[in-house]
Amino acid sequence: MSSSVAIKNALISVYYKDNLEPIILELKRLGVKIYSTGGTEDFIRALGVDVIAVEDLTSYPSILGGRVKTLHPKVFGGILARRSFEGDQQQLAQYEIPEIDLVIVDLYPFEETVKSGAGHDDVIEKIDIGGISLIRAAAKNYKDVTIIASKDDYAELENILKTQNGETTFDQRRSLAKKAFNTSSHYDSAIFNYFNQEDPQPVFKQSIQRSQVLRYGENPHQKGIFYGNLDAMFTKLNGKELSYNNLVDVDAAVALIDEFTEPTIAILKHTNACGIASRSFIKEAWLDALACDPVSAFGGVIIANDEINAETAAEISKLFFEVLIAPAYTDEALVYLTEKKNRIILIRNPVELPVKQFKTLLNGVIEQDKDSTVEGPDLMKPATTKQPTEHELRDLFFANKVVKHTKSNTIVFAKNNTLIASGVGQTSRVDSLRQAIVKAEAFGFDLKGAVMASDAFFPFNDCVEIAADAGITAILQPGGSIKDQDSIKMADEKGISMVMTGVRHFKH
Where is 41: in which H helix or E strand?
Answer: helix 38-46
Q: Single out the catalytic residue among 140, 143, 162, 236.
A: 140
**77 to 71, 97, 135, 145: CA distances (angstroms):** 10, 7, 14, 12
Q: Single out the catalytic residue among 33, 270, 391, 489.
A: 270
Q: Cα(370)–Cα(377) distance, rounded to whole angstroms?
A: 22
Partners of 454 in the β-ladder:
411
Q: Cα(87)–Cα(90) distance, rounded to whole angstroms?
A: 5
Q: Cα(148)–Cα(238) distance, rounded to whole angstroms?
A: 36
**462 to 381, 400, 502: CA distances (angstroms):** 21, 20, 20
Q: Cα(236)–Cα(124) distance, rounded to whole angstroms?
A: 39
- The residues, any chain, with a CB within 8 Å of residue 442's CB and separated by 6 or more, are none
Angle between helices 462-470 and 484-494 (to 10 degrees): 20
Q: Cα(382)–Cα(118) distance, rounded to whole angstroms?
A: 44
Running DSSP on this structure, what letter comes out for residue 416?
S
**If we measure between CA atoms, which residue out of 99, 77, 84 comes closest to residue 8?**
99
**166 to 6, 60, 144, 146, 177: CA distances (angstroms):** 6, 30, 13, 11, 17
270 catalytic? Reply is yes
Within 13 Å of residue 477, how many CA atoms lie on the same side as its CB?
28
Strands 52-53 and 451-454: unpaired
* Residues 433, 455 contacting (CB under 8 angstroms): no
Q: Cα(353)–Cα(179) distance, rounded to whole angstroms?
A: 26
- The residues, any chain, with a CB within 8 Å of residue 3's CB and separated by 6 or more, are 169, 170
What is the number of other CB atoms lying within 10 angstroms of the CB of residue 218?
11
- The residues, any chain, with a CB within 8 Å of residue 441's CB and separated by 6 or more, are none
140 catalytic? Reply is yes
Running DSSP on this structure, what letter comes out for residue 66?
G
**If we measure between CA atoms, which residue out of 416, 403, 305, 414 comes closest to residue 350?**
305
- The residues, any chain, with a CB within 8 Å of residue 175's CB and separated by 6 or more, are none
- The residues, any chain, with a CB within 8 Å of residue 341's CB and separated by 6 or more, are 238, 239, 240
What is the number of other CB atoms lying within 10 angstroms of the CB of residue 468?
19
Q: Which residues are catalytic?
A: 140, 270
